[in-house]
Every structure is written in C-alpha cells, then in structure tokens.
C-alpha cells in the first residue's frame, strides 16, 4: 500500500463563510461542491497545489474552545503579506511573523472558525 496524497477536511457550522475566508485570505479556488438540501454540504478547495476540504456540520464544536488537536501549515511565498491578507480577511493574530532559528519565517493565525493556521516560508539563503 502506498499513500498517494493527504488533505485535511475542516468541519464548520457556516460553510459559505469559511469558504469565503479561505478564498480571500489564501486565494483558494473551489474545485468541487457537493450540494445538500440547504446549500452545500461539502466544498473542496485548491490552495496552490494543496487541497483543503470543508464540510458543513451544524453540531461542530467551536475550535477555539475545543483545544488545538490539529493545526494547518501553509508554506507561502511571503509570510508577511499572507499574514496581512489573512488578518484583513477576518483571521485573528496568534503570533506575528518572526524569523525562527531553524531557518524559516513563521506566523500564526486563527481562521474565522478558530482553526489554528501556521504560515511559513524558508528564509533567503537557507
């Protein structure tokens, strides 16, 4: 058995709002929609070469209050720009961009549902 790919699937009470956040914050593009009775039940997004699924679940527990068991990590071309764009799109700052001793620049935010997101890039010359 060989794993061919992996992608996370987030659950949310407000699917349209979370999809719109990722479209604005990280230039996500909708690749697939699965309709439900009251709108979409599932949306697959392409964020660069990465896939992110978002499913509608009216009973999902808010991530901010549930503890962080999983965090998303996006490697971007410009952490500072991605961080600023995400904040303008409704993200909440957790850690502003900073250079790390292992040779990356990293910032941390929460999306509009409270999911933890790391933004990272390799520092020039590393």
Give residue-wise pLDDT tens across range 42-68.
999 999 999 999 999 988 766 555 567
Give residue-wise pLDDT tens across range 64-120.
555 677 889 999 999 999 999 999 999 999 999 999 999 999 999 999 999 999 999
| Percent of residues in the chain assigned helix, strand, coil, to nearest 5 | 20, 45, 35
Contact call for residues 98 and 108 (beta carbons, < 8 A): no
What angle do the packed helices 79-88 and 15-26 form, to 10 degrees? 140
The number of folded domains in the chain is 1
- Give the residue, 9 or 38, on which the prediction is more confident: 9
Beta bridge partners of 52: 45
Residue 2 lies in a domain: no
Give residue-wise pLDDT tens across range 17-37.
999 999 999 999 999 999 888
CATH of the domain at 96: 3.10.180.10
Find, among 102, 106, 101, the residue nearest to 82 by Cα. Answer: 106
């Amino acid at each position: 058995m060989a794993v061919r790919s992996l992608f996370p699937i987030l659950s949310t009470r407000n699917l349209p709002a979370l999809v719109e956040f990722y479209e604005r914050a990280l230039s996500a593009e909708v690749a697939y929609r699965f309709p439900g009775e009251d709108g979409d039940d599932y949306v697959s997004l392409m964020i660069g070469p990465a896939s992110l699924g978002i499913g509608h679940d009216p009973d999902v527990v808010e991530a901010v209050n549930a503890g962080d068991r999983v965090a998303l990590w996006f490697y971007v071309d410009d952490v500072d720009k991605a961080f600023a764009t995400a904040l303008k799109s409704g993200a909440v700052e957790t850690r502003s961009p900073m250079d790390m001793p292992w040779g990356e620049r990293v910032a941390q935010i929460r999306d509009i549902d409270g999911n933890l997101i790391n933004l990272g890039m390799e520092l020039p010359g590393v």
